[in-house]
Structure 1
Amino acid sequence: MEAKEIVASYFDALAKGDMQNALSSFTPETKWSQPGNNKFSGLKKNLDEIIKMFEGIMGDTAGNMTVRPNGEMKESGSFVAVPVWFTAKKGSISFDLGGMDLFEVKSGKIMHVWTFSDDQQVDDEFWGR
């Protein structure tokens, strides 16, 4: 499978709420770089830390956080860039924002993810410290 297909299958699994299949795209050593200055920001150094971040995000939003591709995926060697759209709600506060995710894929697995927000300040205010 090409890098783009690996990333597409990750997003397909996310869209179905199938976290087991989504996470099967990663290795135990996969890294995730989450931007900003909020409680989920920083480098996640392995799959366990990524899962803990996902669980925290879903806990904060009562499970209603969604992220989906919002345009054409671009591939360059082992890298895939994906414009994305995030939506979530916490109580009366909602979050509806675009961004970009960059995936590094090697040997059929996602090895590193970098996420970028269209407005990091809005992102940080929503997630808090």
Structure 2
Amino acid sequence: MVERSRNMQAQASMQKGELLYELHAKNVSTTIKDIGPNGIQLEMNDRGEFSGKLHGNHIDTVTVNQKTDGTNEWQLKSIMNTKDGDMVVVWGSGKGRMSGPTTGNWEGELHFMTQSPKLSWLNNSTGWAEGQGNMATGESHGKIYAKK
């Protein structure tokens, strides 16, 4: 198990390039979409701030398939509004694992789209996301890197 964890960390670090931004989010609502023998499907709506190469506010909808073994798969849709008035939409997916009764870690790949001329470089970029969340407090924190 330790070796598998090291391999996953090594793979993730190979994918990380420049830090694009850090995000802080607070859960606004959670909807239980389905419950079955393989787990629970949740839809969470968050809002928060991001800072780094990009600065502003974001709103997100994250669909999570929480499996009975403590792992999950997620899909994200997000709207980011920068302090300069530009909008960036973000979508992606990834995997996570519960690290405690109410806490978990997640990682995955993100894609960006914008009409802003000064942020047009994002249209050809892929991001790598890593973060942690706490379901008890409704807070999450992540770092988004340019993917190599």
Shorter-chain TM range is 0.3 to 0.5
Q: Flag the structure with more relative contact order, 1 or 2, with Cα contacts below 8 A and sequence separation at least 6.
A: 1
Normalising by structure 1, we get a TM-score of 0.44
Structure having the larger proportion of residues in strand: 2
Normalising by structure 2, we get a TM-score of 0.40
Structure having the larger proportion of residues in helix: 1
